[in-house]
Amino acid sequence: MRFKRRHIISMKDFTREEIDYILDRAAKLEPLARGGRSDLLAGKILALLFYEPSTRTRMSFETAMLRLGGSVLNLGSKEATSIVKGETLADMIRVVSTYSDAIVQRHPSEGSALMAAEFSSVPIINGGDGAGHHPTQTLLDLYTIRKESHLDNLDIAIVGDLKYGRTVHSLTYALSLYGANITLVSPPQLNMPDQIKADLKARGARVSETENLEEVLDSIDVLYMTRIQKERFPDPTEYKKVAGAYKITTEHLGNVRDNMIIMHPLPRVNEIDSFVDTSSHARYFEQSFYGVPIRMALLTIVMGVEV
């Protein structure tokens, strides 16, 4: 299969075949991601253009590039703010794309990655554009589900802030391509927007909604937890109540399916009790590791290197 798209901007750009292709390549590269070094991308330079703080995304891209024998150019966040004062992103992209073979970008404005792609002479990988997209997170989530559970006939519950959470929107979109059975679990204030739900159903997902987390725990393969942000609640007692209702502890795990897995994009606050970490169901740290093989796969694809 050949990839027509050079840029990685939004999950909506991908067909299921393209996603499978990326996941397959990540599987091939996973042993290398676990330790070692190759020269697949020797002589190549990846520019990391982060206008907003990031730990996991930035570091896992760096790791991915180093494991592949390439180098990284890092615009530290401090320098970013001073260099960028007054300079447009468009100019920055025009310049940095002459220094590098690909650019990973995180920027606070929605649509900034798409715009960057219009100005760049090298592939742009979107590492987050405001409340917009974060496709590499979704791909690593899918990789985790495929590896640690299964993508076909999947029963998944997605819990937390389903209204504003961009991770959740693009994950559910991708899962709809696999016909997943999705249960949305959230307080009413944070329900998924109707437009997105309608979209998902139109694309073949089965979607149901509940406020009650405990009600779904026993009938799912994947429990995908997300953070509920305090800022969304004007009333602090209301926040406490909601946060308490969507917290998972070992007591919840008594009747779940044996192979049920728990995921979380991290960082967690207290949605998952730390006692859950050692249970056979926890997969959030593996999930965060899988960001490395997924990003290795993407880097080799956008730089046109066969694996």
Binding stretches for other proteins (CB under 8 A) = 88-90, 107-112, 114-115, 118, 129-132, 195
- Nearest approach in angstroms of CB 13 to other proteins is 12
Shortest distance, position 89 Cβ to other proteins, whole Å: 6
Q: Supply angle C-alpha 57, 269, 206, rounded to 5.
A: 75
- As measured in angstroms, the least distance from the Cβ of 60 to other proteins is 25
Residue 204 gets the label, from left (phi > 0), alpha (psi -120 to 50) or beta, of left
Q: What value, to the nearest 5°, has the Cα angle with vertex 87 and ends 85 and 93?
A: 125
Q: Closest CB to other proteins among 89 and 207?
A: 89
Nearest distance from C-beta of residue 118 to other proteins, angstroms: 8
Q: Is the Cβ of residue 125 or residue 263 nearer to other proteins in the bound state?
A: 125
**With respect to other proteins, which residue has the nearer C-beta, 131 or 269?**
131
Three-state secondary structure readout of 152-204: CCCEEEEECCCCCCHHHHHHHHHHHCCCCEEEEECCHHHCCCHHHHHHHHHCC
Between CA 225 and CA 180 the distance in angstroms is 17
Question: Using CA atoms, how far apart are residues 85 and 211, in angstroms rounded to an integer?
Answer: 44
Nearer to other proteins among residue 111 and residue 179 (C-beta): 111
Residue closest to 49 by CA, chosen among 121, 117, 109, 124:
124
Residue 73 vs 90, nearer CB to other proteins? 90
How many Cβ atoms from other residues are within 10 Å of residue 152's Cβ? 8
In contact, 101 and 302? CB cutoff 8 Å: no
Tell the smallest beta-carbon distance from residue 131 to other proteins (Å): 7
Provide the annotated active-site residues. 56-57, 85, 106, 134
* Nearer CB in complex with other proteins: 17/110: 110
Give the nearer residue to other proteins in terms of CB position, either 112 or 120. 112
Residue 74: Cβ-neighbour burial (10 angstroms; 0-12, 13-18, 19+): middle
Q: Which one, of 96, 151, 88, 85, lies nearest residue 125 by Cα?
A: 96
Provide the minimum distance between the beta carbon of 236 and other proteins in the complex, in angstroms, as a whole number. Answer: 26
What is the nearest approach in angstroms of other proteins to the Cβ of residue 86?
9
Q: Give the span between the Cα atoms of 98 and 87, in whole angstroms.
A: 17
Concatenated DSSP letters of 84-98: HTT--HHHHHHHHTT
